[in-house]
Amino acid sequence: MNTTVLPFDPARIAPAALPGLLASMPKTELHIHIEGSLEPELIFEIAQRNRVALPYSDFEALRKAYAFTDLQSFLDIYYSGASVLLQEEDFEDMALAYFERAAAEGVVHAEVFFDPQTHTDRGVPFATVINGLTRAADIALTEFGLSASYILCFLRHLSEEAAFATLEQALPYRSRFIGVGLDSSERGHPPSKFERVFARCRELGLHVVAHAGEEGPPAYIEAALDLLKAERIDHGVRCLEDPALVARLARDKVPLTVCPLSNLKLCVVDDIAAHPLRKLLDAGLVVTINSDDPAYFGGYLAANYQQSFAALGLDAGHAWQLARNSIDASFAPEPRKREWREALDHHFIAAAGA
């Protein structure tokens, strides 16, 4: 675990109080695909509004189809669900539903992935996507006090040329997103495939993150760092297979946006009790907990914390460290980070003194 001095005594917080504390403590979420927050009920509501036919009789039948064997089996259903999104209102409704739930679970800031190619390849204009998402973020700040930033993700199963074309479509809306990422099918699509487009994004002053080391090997994490110059690694759990890489990640304080329930649902681990979260913490890595695609993986941020803690025997000290990591690893302005750190400390001091 990191050696930061805790501002409270973890022994003064009873294990029975942890679930509530995990849900209420101030924290950020740094690995959330907004299309992956689209619940079956909302999919059917939007489908009816847009007169889109779905290959399922109702939302319960759709939910029953969420029995994934790997990343690709999930993506097949994920893209089907996203097919209902056609109007600005649809993207606004989807994002706002996530923000409302996240704010209720202690999230003070979210850095949200969106996949424009999932929509533009269906003929939905980039402007439709970003306008709806932007309105939702504005409402979230006003109504819930939750700040949100967007990260445009390139689909790695498509070509780098397609990524360049997407970037060109996005540039008129440069002020609406803070960075770029790399997601979708990892196997067979190494970071090197996108080296040139990420170099262009860095020239534009965009933050850079990348999915690596979920299903792909540790070498993909190294490539994301060396070739793409990624500032954060999304997932990264397979780094433990390479001790030299673990030492590098610890030394350079590279944040990992880990998603426990996603790893369980996609069979990266067989049991949540076998998840490497605690090993990553013990190795001194800057680990954060996130929900990835919560509508599909059985849990939003609080559930990811609560189920991981129950299975791995983590305590209030780990909770504070993970929440603190999430704040430190965000791309939010430093004055806001200071406010959130102070709020986090006060939250735990009050819990320990109760």
Instruction: For residue 347, say whether it is annotated as part of any ligand binding site.
Output: no
Q: How many CB atoms sit inside 10 A of residue 64's CB? A: 10
**Active-site hit among 214, 215, 241, 334:** 214
Ramachandran assignment for 128, one of left (phi > 0), alpha (psi -120 to 50 degrees), beta (any other)? alpha
State the DSSP string of 179-234. EEEEES--TT--GGGGHHHHHHHHHTT-EEEEEESSSS-HHHHHHHHHTS--SEEE
Binding site annotation covers 31?
yes
| Beta-bridge partners for 289 | 258
Radius of gyration, CA atoms only, the chain: 19
Q: Is 33 annotated as a binding residue?
A: yes
Residue 293 marked as a ligand binder:
yes
Long-range contacts of 160-168 (CB under 8 A, 24+ apart): 160/193, 160/194, 160/196, 160/197, 162/117, 163/194, 163/197, 164/196, 164/197, 164/200, 166/116, 166/117, 166/120, 166/126, 167/197, 167/200, 167/201
161 is catalytic: no
Q: Measured between alpha carbons, how far is residue 199 from residues 30, 163, 180, 191, 208 in Å? A: 22, 12, 11, 12, 10
- Per the annotation, binding residues for Zn(2+) are 31, 33, 211, 292
- Per the annotation, binding residues for substrate are 293
- Per the annotation, binding residues are 31, 33, 211, 292-293
| Residues with active-site annotation | 214
